[in-house]
Amino acid sequence: MSYAAILTHVEADPATERRLRLAADLANQFDAALIGIGAESYEPPTAAAAVGYTDGETLVVEAKVVEQDLKLAETRFREAARGVLKGSEWRCAVTMPAELIVRQSRAADLIVAAPRRAEPYGFHNHADPGDLLMQCGRPILVTPPDLEALDASSVVLAWKDTRESRRALSDALPFLKRAKQVLVAGLSEGRDQTDLEAHLTDVAGFLARHGVKASTKVSTPGKATVAQALLEIADAQDAGLIVAGGYGHARFREWAFGGVTQELLGGVGRAVLLSH
């Protein structure tokens, strides 16, 4: 198993260039094609526009801004994709980014995405990685804004005995097969540690049958959140990638009360591969 096609959203924002270089490098590592998605819609209407006071001139200006942004995004993509050995494709539309990415995800094995923005707006030109995770049916690789190349020689697989973790385990196999060090980490959270150790042993056995040598570790988060505990484990392993299942609880519950997925989607200073 490998990734034959990698997809990423390309924004007009200069910060997208680092993610583009990372996606292009990954495409060559996995001998995959690179698909760039250009998508942007119009700015959300002001209060006056919402009740019917938008004039034609404003709409024309907005249309030109979107057109210019998409042209700039295409230029950035074609520059970054020139060195992709398996070739590249550019797909573009004036629409909400998440909507187009979800539709086009049928053509890809892996989606490289930016972390969730802190502000609760801007979805006319930015795809929320939580939406992609829930709707694409593909693994989502969330990368830090300043990361230009992914060193996944050491990987931490966060294990919880859920459907989402099993999906992430399978989706991450191309990374795991290439890694020099894989740690299957379980957080006890008050559960029977003996059962958890048995689960981790099963996962390590599964990986061994796929040619991946993995070690296991059971930890207790203590006062830290689960996401913080995972980061501490990743720091100790010098891991460049964390693999985890996403939204094991209902998504609304995480929105309301917070959760591991919410923290990981917000960016944690290293790459995170999530599956749902």
Q: Give me the phi and psi of 126, to 5 degrees please.
A: -140, 135
Domain ranges of the chain: 5-142, 154-275
Q: How do beta strands 140-142 and 154-159 pair?
A: unpaired
Of 250, 257, 256, 255, the C-alpha closest to 276 is 250
Q: Give me the phi and psi of 234, to 5 degrees please.
A: -65, -40
Task: pLDDT band for 255, please (50, 70, 90 cuts).
Answer: very low
Task: Say if 5-142 and 154-275 have the same CATH topology.
Answer: yes
| pLDDT score, position 238 | 97
- Classified as helix, coil or strand, 178 is helix
Cβ atoms of 223 and 254 within 8 Å: the answer is no
> Mean pLDDT over residues 121-133, rounded?
89
| pLDDT score, position 46 | 53
Length of the chain measured in residues = 276
CATH 3.40.50.620 fits 5-142, yes or no: yes
pLDDT tens digits for range 163-220? 999 999 999 999 999 999 999 999 987 667 889 999 999 999 999 999 999 999 999 8
CB atoms within 10 A of CB 122: 11
H runs (alpha helix) in the chain = 16-29, 47-50, 56-81, 97-104, 129-135, 163-171, 173-178, 193-209, 226-237, 251-257, 260-265
HEC secondary structure over 202-247: HHHHHHHHCCCCEEEEEECCCCCCHHHHHHHHHHHHCCCEEEEECC
pLDDT tens digits for range 50-107? 545 556 677 788 889 999 999 999 999 999 999 999 999 999 999 999 999 999 999 9
CATH for the 154-275 domain, from 3.40.50.450, 3.40.50.1000, 3.30.465.10, 3.40.50.620: 3.40.50.620
